[in-house]
Amino acid sequence: MSNVNKLLKQKLTAENYDRLMAVNNAKIHEFVADAIELTSPETVFVCTDSDEDISHVREMSIKNGEESPLETPGHTYHFDGINDQGRDREITKYLVPKTETLSKALNQIGREEGLAEVRGLMKDSMKGRTMILRFLMLGPRDSVFSSPCIQATDSWYVAHSEDLLYRTAYEQFCKIGSDDNVFCFLHSAGEMSDDMVSVDVENKRVYMDYTTDTMYSVNTQYGGNTMGLKKLALRLTIRRADREGWLAEHMFISGVHGPGGRKTYLAGAFPSACGRTSTAMLPGETILGDDIAYFRNIDGEFRAVNTEAGIFGIIQNVNAKDDPNIWDVLHNPGEVIISNILVSDKKPYWLGMGEDIPDKGVNFSGEWFKGKKDAKGKEIPPAHKNARYAVALKALANCDPELDNPEGVVLGGVMYGGRDPKASVPVQQSFNWAHGIVLYGASLETETTFAIIGEEGVMEINLMSIQDFLAIPLGKYIQNNVDFVNDIKKPPLVFGVNYFLRDKEGKFVNGVRDKHVWVKWMELRVHSDVDAITCPTGQIPCYEDLVKLFKQVLDKEYTKEDYIKQFTIRVPENLAKIGRVEKYHKENVPGSPQIVYDTLEDTRERLNDLREQHGDYVSPFDLTTG
């Protein structure tokens, strides 16, 4: 018997040892043994796919106080600490070997130094607790898209959340044999308060050792920092996709209905709090995924899957009118976890829900009352802006039936969108795949929001809405996207969208529900059912088509004034944006493909030509006659 097996047999009960040994994989055994030696848990629970085991995880999360029941049967709430309310860029780092370099735009630390630091923080961190082992799958089971993952955590809340968000895969793990193509995640909440909140947030760390496909997370509970299969796995997957010739993307996938009963699948990349989930959840359409997608060339077709099986969505502004499917799930019996909201009389309240919020209750700051202030004298809101809900996709009435199709779905279009108050029109189509990847994806500029710890309202470049998660050179990632369709028979169309364009008075020119019209227009363009007008940055809708769509989709009159406000080409603002993007690539993206600079320069020339003909601000009606 090997030393690894001896340690596992010593530390695990006979039942849990047998469960682990049924997964006959040396890499997994070594990972678990190392995790046990490092963190010193009192017990280890190996969770299978059985209903009894999954129920036990949920029950323990309530029993130990990480979750508490709400009034609606099956609903629970969880609080992260007041200083642990979002994905933390500053403490999320790549462990880079001495022989390698990553882009300076990415947070990183030397591998040896980083391992010593994070493993030092994790030493004996699970004393007196249970280590929970979860066997999960990214992508549908038994699929070319599948990526097996093992999570070791001392948080029953994290383990429970992953039941809702991912596909359980213990039985699949029992079949993988010696395959070492497994992602490993080790998490500890660290020291916890009596309220079961991580205490030592000053020492929270999320470090990725991409040389071994292992993630370490400590002194944090927030899902984006702890649920290994979410953005932590995306970082590892991007490297695997780069090696194997496919794409891992920060995108939703939605089924959009068109004329004649057809359904067209569209994917979209948006930074957090920029409209991703609301676009994926448009009423009357189907949702296949809201966050992470894998793309592969399957026999010349561009196919996509949702890597996840649930939604960890922002709950702020979810209301009965705009989000009926989510609203129903949040108000009917079923398994739902809601985090960092206000709780009063066992009822949850969140910002923008369209109902009166009580003046007191319990929230992420503890006992809360209206006017309560934090240590810096800033008033604490009743619920956090980044409060979340976790729910299985199959609980939604509009869940797409192809969710678990091992072959994925054929993609008709992709869109890139961010918060751009000044320059970009609400929707436009690129001239071709490469043009869209560069001008809408690699040039994505957005205002920062509350979903990421740091200053809000700052304009920043966020390449493809995935920059935070890249563990390969940024330039190589762009080139991978450009090249991906070389052998695709019918590449998806590429669209740029912007729900946050403002007028001179600072008012949004888009209505909240207008996005549904833009998506319906995209669906028609995929099938060449409508024409478009060429402008310097792409192709925009014709006024007559939008009149019909606004009436059909929203039963709303659409005026020429609306069209002019939304689709006037703002030449100075677009030129300024191109300058910022170009500067960013030169300074932060070594090896950025030449096509990036060529596309930006071509766009600059077209904008300047338009300016010479029509001035700084050009009505879309002038484009039709020019």
Residues marked as catalytic: 274
CB 119 within 8 A of CB 218: no
The CA distance from 55 to 74, in Å, is 11
Bridge-partner residues for 248, per DSSP? 294
Residue entry with tokens 């925009």:
540
The CA distance from 624 to 618, in Å, is 11
Bridge-partner residues for 136, per DSSP? 149, 168
Tell the burial category of 5 from Cβ atoms under 10 Å away from its Cβ (0-12, 13-18, 19+): middle
Per DSSP, helices labelled H in 40-152 are 51-63, 111-122
The CA distance from 95 to 87, in Å, is 18
Structure-block tokens of residue 551: 């009436």
Residues 6+ apart with CB under 8 A from 168: 49, 54, 134, 135, 136, 137
The CA distance from 289 to 310, in Å, is 8
Q: Which of 206, 233, 236 is nearest to 219 (CA)?
A: 206
The CA distance from 504 to 9, in Å, is 69
Q: Which phi and psi angles does 149 have, rounded to 5°? A: -140, 140
**Chain centroid to CA 241: how far?**
17
The CA distance from 449 to 474, in Å, is 23
The CA distance from 429 to 436, in Å, is 8
Give the helix/strand (H/E) hosting 601. helix 594-614
**Chain centroid to CA 162: how far?**
15
Give the helix/strand (H/E) hosting 519. helix 515-526
DSSP state of 536: T
Query: What interhelical angle do 560-567 and 543-554 show, nearest 10?
Result: 110
Amino acid found at 285: E
Handedness of CA 347, 351, 356, 359 (dihedral sign): positive
- Tell how strand 205-209 and strand 92-96 pair up: parallel
The CA distance from 306 to 113, in Å, is 35
Residues 6+ apart with CB under 8 A from 41: 126, 127, 129, 130, 131, 154
Handedness of CA 443, 449, 452, 455 (dihedral sign): positive
Residue entry with tokens 């999570």:
151
DSSP string, 300-329: TEEEEEES-SEEEEE-TT--TTT-HHHHHH
